[in-house]
Structure 1
């Protein structure tokens, strides 16, 4: 019995030891997991990326992955977005009003989301951050090149990002299918609502009759039969005209490129012919020089033989002399004939070389002209392509200038006069949102609040802007209509704008100049308030 009891006690001791080891192992695992930062697991609350969803397995997961990531939504365009930093939501509008709205998370105090008037500059379905260790940013829509974008992220309903605008996953995917590059995004301290505006100073588009458009452009665009002759013909708006120009210029650019290629090939052939003619000329010159040297040597030999014969004849006249030609004379005659033939060949080679050289020079000229024509046609095609994009205008009181871009590319800038320059203009964004039957555009306007400085101070204190509109404004900024009244532009500038203006076109009137985000090609005219 004592042995049995001893064995039982031994087994109980082993069991306790095994349990202790297991408990220690589990505790170590738990502590290790608790010690790991969230970022190491693939998700961080401070990251501008949404936490990765767990993978689904089985047939359902496969069918879900087979669906497209984002579907294109058909809406009346253009769209524009208003981001409320105070309300922490984004609102999408078109001419008919509010399209959609979602809660968001913007930048924390150390990394604030900038206030201002921006543009969607680029889009990537799946992007990784260049600033934050490659953090995933699905459905990214860039609004600055300094690192601010709208994308899928962890949304808390209050500031939580490094400056980006985080969107809930489903809404980010939906927004991706709605928006386009070139559409406007306004980031304000609190919520703004667009209002319709009609004013005689707003730009108007140039409408063309069918007869004003190039017959070639109409034919290339397949629209010649679409217009009736006479006064009842439909007018062509700038966007439609731009499409015609794009088709026409693309055909002309292709033809010019083909002509340039053919001219370059012809030039290469003429260059080879010139090289061959030059080689033949050099060979003929060498042959002529050799023949001339031999003829001169043969002449000297013949003269020497003749002189000796003369000496013999003088010294011994009784000796008979042969009247036939000596071998030296025969060699001389042969050398002279060879020289004459070499000179004939040299003259022919020189004539051929001169002709080939002239043809080569002409081929160079034609190739250069064809290349210049191809470059001009390519430039015209690029300009025609730009014309299909919305036009962007900024009138700056600070710089007393107007800036015009299209397709994120500078078009022109010119002087602009702002009456009463000592009085604030404010900052107003006018967007051409719809067109009437006669081609007249309908406009919506968003005016930034005049209390930007107070809003900015509130931002610094709280990390967000609360909707406090009761405080007195900092200055009597102009209303949207008054700002238009104070702008003076030349007729030439207005005509240039009218030639390119259509739906989606926008104009900013502001006390400020273009922001630091506005640089070369690939950026738009934006105003940034901090």
Structure 2
């Protein structure tokens, strides 16, 4: 009998323990389900990640927005194989990778910056530049970094150290917010206008009509935008074309001041009661431009990519185009759909060349239509690079706008 009681108590204890375990599991599962969306929401609300590499300091710095979250020593390219400076993005990631150029050398936690062989990866750090152009990192840091990054993330490589700064400027796009219209129609108004009777439903009387912003289906995909100067047509070519349009035979539009072009200029000068010289002067060009109704074209172009593909292009203008611009990267921080504003940060990729980033923004002129289009497309983490350097175009393998500054 005593044995039976012991077995009964033991069985009851097991059942109770099992019930408790199931209860705890249910609570834990519920807590996990409750906390999962919160964790995802917190991840989504984080500012964009980006990396800054200083070759002179042999250091890589990881920022989340304006906040520095991690740093590490590096070893960049040695003499004859120096690491290029400029604006890059992560094109490819592989946990295990072997070099196609250098004796199948292992490159763990590889994150490719160029298709020509520059990447971030695990490697030896002797305390000075020693690689064949890649950026070597210690294994624990490289592994941690690999878990944080994604394709398309910006990596800016500079000589001297650079830091992101907050910037506020009217040129930088803000989220699109449609205007709200309020319609308030009284019964008396409708009855007084025969055209409204029968066309307005009773529910429309004294109601507020609010335009709702449509959801952006690409809201989780940062845009990559770049503004670069565009080569302008020669002054002589423009003059030849305008003279031909005005009825003067300036010959072919080839930019060459030949006999026909000089004769056309002389004929115009004679008709305009100007000294007949056949020579081109600033005053003559301005007069012909005005008479022909000629407006100078935009001297720069804006290009936009999403997921390594071109999606938009528009002409824009840069004031004082003959002055240096340098290379500047502006990045939109986190915002939600429906927000009316977003903060931006700036990184100067070429030191003092071209001046401070806000001063560069003062020189940019965006047509109103272009600004409106950018506002509609804007997403968190979108970047805008302004540079007078050339950039690498699509390679067929998928790239963002790669700008080499040396």
Same fold (TM over 0.5): yes
| Structure ranking higher in strand proportion | 2
**Cα displacement string for residues 179-219 of structure 1 (whole angstroms, at most 9, x for unaligned residues):** 111111000001111100011111112246999xxxxxxxx
Distance 1:403 1:207, change over 3 A: same
Give 1:433's aligned residue: 333
Backbone CA RMSD of aligned residues: 2.8
The equivalent position to 1:411 in structure 2, one of 300, 311, 314, is: 311
Which runs of 5 or more residues in structure 2 are unaligned?
1-39, 182-206, 232-299
| Secondary structure, aligned partner of 1:498 | helix
Give 1:447's aligned residue: 348
Please give the TM-score of this superposition, normalised by the length of structure 1. 0.47
- Which 4+ runs in 1 deviate beyond 3 A? 72-75, 207-211, 229-236, 436-439, 516-521
Residue 231 of structure 1: how far off its partner (Å): 7.2
Number of matched residues? 271
**Cα displacement string for residues 64-113 of structure 1 (whole angstroms, at most 9, x for unaligned residues):** xxxxxxxx995823100000000001000112510100001100011110
Equivalent positions of 1:27-426 (< 5 A) are 76-207=46-177, 241-243=215-217, 388-397=220-229, 399=231, 400-426=300-326
Give 1:501's aligned residue: 378
CA distance in 1, matches of 2:67, 2:137: 21
Distance 1:521 1:406, change over 3 A: farther
Residue 518 of structure 1: how far off its partner (Å): 4.8
CA distance in 1, matches of 2:58, 2:341: 36
> Which structure has the bigger radius of gyration?
1
Please give the TM-score of this superposition, normalised by the length of structure 2. 0.61
Residue 425 of structure 1: how far off its partner (Å): 1.5
Residue 157 of structure 1: how far off its partner (Å): 2.6
Distance 1:208 1:120, change over 3 A: farther
CA distance in 1, matches of 2:91, 2:209: 41
Residue 124 of structure 1: how far off its partner (Å): 1.1
| Secondary structure, aligned partner of 1:92 | strand
Give 1:45's aligned residue: none
Which runs of 5 or more residues in structure 1 are unaligned?
1-71, 212-228, 244-383, 452-474
Give 2:234's aligned residue: none
Q: Is the 8 A contact 1:441 1:502 kept in 2?
A: no
**Cα displacement string for residues 317-350 of structure 1 (whole angstroms, at most 9, x for unaligned residues):** xxxxxxxxxxxxxxxxxxxxxxxxxxxxxxxxxx
Distance 1:404 1:521, change over 3 A: farther
CA distance in 2, matches of 1:104, 1:166: 5
CA distance in 2, matches of 1:406, 1:230: 37
CA distance in 1, matches of 2:100, 2:324: 39
